[in-house]
């Protein structure tokens, strides 16, 4: 009985720890009239609730790419796109010496592209290509 319990425990742990199936994806993120987003981050959040399946990539000169091992989960994913820039505002450095300041970054894309995003994409097995033209998304 003890062996059977141990075997069941091992099977449960390995099944529970399995990553959801993922796929590779690449594409471009552009602003107005095809202008590439200089830098930013793109996140894919599975809508089926697959735990631990959030995928994200850095955007550089409008391009992003994720290999299948780090890519989004198969199925429908919500997409969040963020981009930061210096705000010009300076605040004291936390736990820093008195008089030392750092410039604050600000999110300059509207919330409809990130925290309030309704952008979705269907991820299929294999290689996916998805471009996001922010001037066309409302």
DSSP sequence for the chain: -HHHHHHHHHHHHHHHTPPPPB-EEEEEEE-GGGPBP-EEEEEEEETT--TT--EEEEEETTEEEE-TTTSPBSEEEEEEEE-EEEEEEEEEPTTPPTT-EEEEEEE-S-GGGTTT---EEEE-SSEEE--EETTT--
The pLDDT score that the predictor gives to residue 138 is 61
The pLDDT score that the predictor gives to residue 91 is 86
pTM: 0.78
The pLDDT score that the predictor gives to residue 28 is 97
The pLDDT score that the predictor gives to residue 117 is 96
Q: What is the pLDDT along the chain (138 residues), one digit of tens a residue?
A: 555 455 444 444 444 557 789 999 999 999 988 899 999 999 999 998 766 789 999 999 999 999 999 999 999 999 999 999 988 888 888 888 888 888 889 999 999 999 999 999 999 999 999 999 998 876
Fold of 20-133: Immunoglobulin-like (2.60.40)
């Amino acid at each position: 009985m003890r062996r059977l319990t141990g075997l069941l425990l091992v099977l449960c742990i390995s099944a529970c720890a399995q990553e959801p199936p993922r796929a590779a994806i690449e594409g471009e993120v552009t602003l107005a009239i095809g202008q590439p987003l200089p830098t930013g981050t793109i996140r894919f959040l599975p809508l089926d609730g697959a735990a631990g399946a959030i995928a994200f990539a850095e955007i550089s000169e409008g391009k992003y790419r994720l290999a299948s091992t780090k890519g989004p989960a198969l199925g429908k994913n919500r997409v969040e796109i963020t981009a930061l820039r210096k705000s010009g505002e300076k605040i004291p450095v936390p736990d820093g010496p008195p008089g030392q300041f750092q410039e604050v970054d600000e999110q300059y894309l509207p919330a409809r592209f990130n925290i309030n995003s309704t952008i979705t994409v269907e991820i299929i097995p294999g290689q996916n290509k998805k471009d996001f033209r922010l001037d066309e998304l409302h």
